[in-house]
Amino acid sequence: MSGTGSVSVTGIGIVTALGQGAAANWAAMRAGQSGAAPVQRFPTEGLATRFAATVDAFCDPALRPTERTAELALMAANEALAQAGQEPGAAFPGKLIVGIPPIQMEWSDRIALDRATGGRATGYGDLIRMAGAAKNNGLFDVLRFDGTTRRLAARVKPVGRPVTITTACSSGATAIQIGVEAIRRGEVDRVLAVGADASVSPEMLLRFGLLSALSRRNDSPETASRPFDKTRDGFVPGEGAGALVLERAEAAHARGANVLGYVRGVGERLDAYHRIRQRPDAGPVGAAMAAAIADAGLAPQDIGYVNAHGTSTGENDRVESVGIGQVFGPRAPDLPVSSLKSMTGHMLSAAAAVEAAVSLLMIAEQTLLPTINHETPDPEIPLDVVPNVARPADVTHVLSNSFGFGGQNVCLVLSAEP
């Protein structure tokens, strides 16, 4: 990190399959509801997994994945900005940083463009050049990696050029990390950090299915995401967006802003072990957690709860448990650790931003959200996973974990105090 010190949060926005807005999501999560359901957006015959936690109830299912991602990002951003005191339509006096998935191009668009250009496209570079040269196909902005950010920036009107990043499932946390670092360096006083993802599509279900990463509980989607449970069989794809307005603490207090909490520490470590697997000894995972706690100026015993990455896959849940054991030692079995993905599904690039925002709500409400669908404890995971029912708790500091494909591990410490 380029500096130290807490960064205040003055606005949050949340969109998941459970609802639009922080209040709706908190109520649903507090009640232990699941957002998973059979996919209605497209035919699923022949797919091994035919369900997901989608946002079709309040976002047009006919939109392309990148267009839908942009809509979710805007919903979350608008809520966060309004809570931070931003006037509607006013330019945001800070930096915009957005974590999104890699380009998701529908096969129908890919085939149409290929036919229109005589089959000359051999890669992404060819596709985007041809889309830019084609007339009235509407694909150029869809195909641009920064297309979501460009749409959002046109509405938010931030200072300077916005930043677009993707670090797989850690993207939202990386956006927050970059924002924290920019504020600590004195580059800006405010940052709007967003993570958004609406990638559920036939190709997405097929690809993750071929990796044996998805649950196949098609007869019971609402119970399919079961992090840390011995009977877990894969993750449930989800969609959503999270947004946080980050602000230099002194500046926020000076303008009389309502401070919701603080990003007190950030830690990251690369696990260059495998494209989709983690090191079995959990070394980088534990190191990222320890780095975030140290960056916050805290000790492991100060952490009152861990908002786990907890994907409901066999390997990830076990490795995260090992890492928690390394960091927290003998205290680990008694430390509350739960996974919101049991309710929201795995929102991929959006997950970390949503989970950071909800971590602040848990601190404000002094309530720990549960890991639902926990029926059979796994003896290899000796953790208190806050099973099935929310729990009152006295918590000041929360560790929120995010571990992405490619070994991109980012952890955040969210706190009630600077």
C-beta separation of 293 from 399 below 8 A: yes
Integer Cα distance of 228 and 311 in angstroms: 8
Active site residues: 169, 309, 346
Helices (H) and strands (E) in the chain, counts: 13, 15
- Can you spell out the DSSP letters for 125-159? HHHHHHHHHSSS---HHHHSTTHHHHHHHHHH--S
Greater pLDDT, 221 or 143: 221
Q: Is residue 116 part of a domain?
A: no
Number of Cβ within a 10 Å radius of residue 91: 11
What is the model's pLDDT at position 136?
44
Q: Which amino acid is at 368?
A: L
Longest Cα pair distance anywhere in the chain, in angstroms?
A: 64
C-beta separation of 405 from 387 below 8 A: no
What is the model's pLDDT at position 117?
63
Q: Is residue 301 part of a domain?
A: yes
Secondary structure of 179-242 as H, E, C letters: HHHHHHCCCCCEEEEEEEECCCCHHHHHHHHHCCCECCCCCCHHHCCCCCECCCCCECEECEEE
Which residues form the domain of 79?
Answer: 8-102+145-415
C-beta separation of 111 from 137 below 8 A: no
Q: Is residue 386 part of a domain?
A: yes
C-beta separation of 249 from 183 below 8 A: no
| Sole residue written with tokens 């571990």 | 403
- Which residues lie below 8 Å from residue 109, measured CB to CB, with a gap of 6+? 64, 139, 142
Query: 216-230 pLDDT, tens per residue?
Result: 999 999 999 999 999
In the DSSP assignment, the letter for residue 340 is: T
- Which residues lie below 8 Å from residue 22, measured CB to CB, with a gap of 6+? 12, 13, 14, 79, 357, 361
CA 190 to chain centre: 21
What is the model's pLDDT at position 134?
60
Of all residues in the chain, what percent carry a pLDDT higher than 70? 89
Integer Cα distance of 146 and 165 in angstroms: 9
Confidence of residue 2 (pLDDT cuts 50, 70, 90): very low
C-beta separation of 109 from 32 below 8 A: no
| Sole residue written with tokens 């207090």 | 253
213 pLDDT exceeds 70?
yes
Number of domains present in the structure of the chain:
1
C-beta separation of 195 from 373 below 8 A: no
Query: 297-317 pLDDT, tens per residue?
Result: 999 999 999 999 999 999 999
What is the model's pLDDT at position 309?
97
- Which residues lie below 8 Å from residue 250, measured CB to CB, with a gap of 6+? none
Q: Is residue 3 part of a domain?
A: no
Give this prediction's pTM.
0.94
Integer Cα distance of 180 and 173 in angstroms: 10
Greater pLDDT, 378 or 5: 378
Q: Is residue 132 part of a domain?
A: no
Q: Is residue 391 part of a domain?
A: yes
Lowest mean pLDDT among 29-33, 66-70, 103-107, 263-267: 103-107
Lowest mean pLDDT among 63-72, 166-175, 212-221, 256-265: 63-72
**Which CATH number goes with the domain that contains 30?**
3.40.47.10
Query: 225-245 pLDDT, tens per residue?
Result: 999 999 999 999 999 999 999
**Exposure on the CB side of residue 203, measured as CA atoms within 13 A:** 12
Integer Cα distance of 236 and 243 in angstroms: 22
CA 250 to chain centre: 28
Q: Is residue 124 part of a domain?
A: no
Q: Is residue 136 part of a domain?
A: no
